Amino acid sequence: MTQFTVTAAALRDAAQWASTATPSRPIAPVLAGLLLDVRDGRVAVTGYDYNTRATATIGADVTGPGRLLVSGKLLVAMAKTIPPRAEVTFTDTGGTVEAVAGRARWSLPLLPVDDYPGLPDLGAPVGHVKAGDLRAALARVLPAASRDVTLPSLAGVKVECEGDRMTLAATDRYRIPAAEISWTPADGGEPWEAVVPTSLMTAASRAGGSDDELLAVSCSGSGFGLAGGAALLAGRLIDAVFPAWRRIMPEPGDRFVVLEREPLLQAVEQALVAAENDGVLLAIDVDGIRVAAAGEGRQAVSWAPARLVGEPLAVKLNAGYLRDALTSHDTSEVTVHLYAQHRPLLVVSDTPGYRHLVMPARMSDAERAAIERPEEVAA
C-alpha cells in the first residue's frame, strides 16, 4: 500500500510546477493526471503531454513506496486550501487515494497509472548554465518568439553552444533579439545547436530557484532538458530549420543615434494616442528624434533628445517592437545603428552580449512627407 506524508507548501509548489506540462485538453485522460512516484524519502511529481515534461521532487516521510496517478487539477486545487506548514498524508485505498490534513479529508479518484506514457531519458548533461543568466536571456528573446504553430521553424528559441558561450535567439520575422551568456560545457563538449519550443522555454523562464543555481543542460536526439535542484523540465525539440539569423543581423556601423530610453518611450506613448494602429513614425536628425502618428481626423507629434552620428533617417516602426527592443536592455542609454531606408535597425547597449534587430514597416508617401516636414516641436 502506497502511503506518504509531505508538507502542504512543498506539495503545492511541486504540483503547480508539474502542471505546467499538463495539457488543458488532453488527448488521453491519463495526461490530465500528475504522476506521484513515491520512493525512499521523496516524491517525484510529474506532468507530461508527450511533448513537455515537468518534474518536481520533494522530501517525504514514506511509509509505503509506489506510483499513483491523480488528477492534476484536483491535486493543485486541494493543495491551495491547506495551510502551508500543515502536513498532508496520502494513502492508496485502491481505486482512490485518501488525503488527510488535520481534520480535513479528501478522497480523490486514481487514474490508471499503467496507462501513463513512459518518460523520455535525456542521457548525460552536455553542460551547465546559471539559472539567473538563462532567465535574463530568455526574458529578452521570448517576446519575439513566434506562437504561430503553422510556422514551426519560428515557434521556438534557437540555442547555439560553442566553447564557453551559449547564444539564444528568436524571431517572428519582424525582429530578432539575440542574447549571449556564459556556460560550462561537459568535458570534451562539441559545438551543438537546437530549436527549443517556445512553450518549454517560457516554462523555464518562470522556474524558481536562486540566480546562482547551476542548471544541467541535456540535449540528445530529439529532446532537450534543464535540471536544477529538485526541478526538471524537458521536452521534444522542433524538427525544423531555424532562419539563418546571423546572416541577417548587421554589424554595428558608423551611422547611429545614441539616446535615453525613457524620453523616447514617453514620446512614443504620446504619439500613439492619435495612432490608428501600433505604427509610429520617427524622424532622426541632429535635433533629436521627432515621433509622430496619425489617424482619421487626428494626429500627434512628440520629441525625444538624441545624439546622431551620420546622416538623418526617417523610419516607421511598430511601437510594441520598439518598446521591447528598448526595455530589454539593462542600461538607461542605448545606441541604435542606422542603415539604408528599408534595412533593419540594430539596438545595442552596454548590456553584455545582447543585440536586438527591428525591421521597419513600409511608409506611405503621405507618411514620409509628414514626418520629414520640418517643424518646431516643444520638448
- Whichever domain contains 151, its CATH number is 3.10.150.10
> Residues 196, 243: one domain?
yes
- Provide the pLDDT for residue 188: 73
Q: What would the pLDDT profile of 286-320 be if each residue is shown by its tens digit? A: 999 999 998 788 889 999 999 999 999 999 999 99
> Residues 144, 232: one domain?
yes
Q: Report yes or no on 79 lying in a domain.
A: yes
> Residues 257, 351: one domain?
yes
Mean pLDDT confidence for 16-37: 94
Q: Report yes or no on 136 lying in a domain.
A: yes
> Residues 137, 240: one domain?
yes
Angle between helices 72-80 and 8-18 (to 10 degrees): 140
> Residues 218, 255: one domain?
no
- Provide the pLDDT for residue 372: 66
Q: Report yes or no on 98 lying in a domain.
A: yes
Select from 202, 217, 247 the last residue of a domain: 247
Q: Is the dihedral of CA 91, 93, 95, 98 positive or negative?
A: negative
> Residues 241, 286: one domain?
no
Q: What would the pLDDT profile of 349-362 be if each residue is shown by its tens digit? A: 999 999 999 999 98
> Residues 256, 211: one domain?
no
Q: Report yes or no on 378 lying in a domain.
A: no
Query: Which strands form 279-285's sheet, in the order they lie side by side?
Result: 298-304, 288-295, 279-285, 313-318
Tell whether the model's pLDDT for residue 377 goes beyond 50.
no
Which residues, at least 6 apart from 265, have a Cβ–Cβ distance to it below 8 Å? 323, 326, 327
Select from 191, 223, 247 the last residue of a domain: 247
pLDDT confidence of 374, banded at 50, 70, 90? very low
> Residues 95, 152: one domain?
no
Tell whether the model's pLDDT for residue 367 goes beyond 80.
no
Prediction pTM value: 0.89
Q: Report yes or no on 9 lying in a domain.
A: yes
> Residues 191, 305: one domain?
no
- Provide the pLDDT for residue 373: 61
Mean pLDDT confidence for 278-284: 93
Select from 93, 115, 137 the last residue of a domain: 115
Q: Report yes or no on 121 lying in a domain.
A: no
Into how many domains does the chain fold? 3
Q: Report yes or no on 294 lying in a domain.
A: yes
Q: Which domain holds residue 279?
A: 250-372
Say which range, 82-96, 124-138, 142-156, 315-329, has the weakest mean pLDDT: 142-156
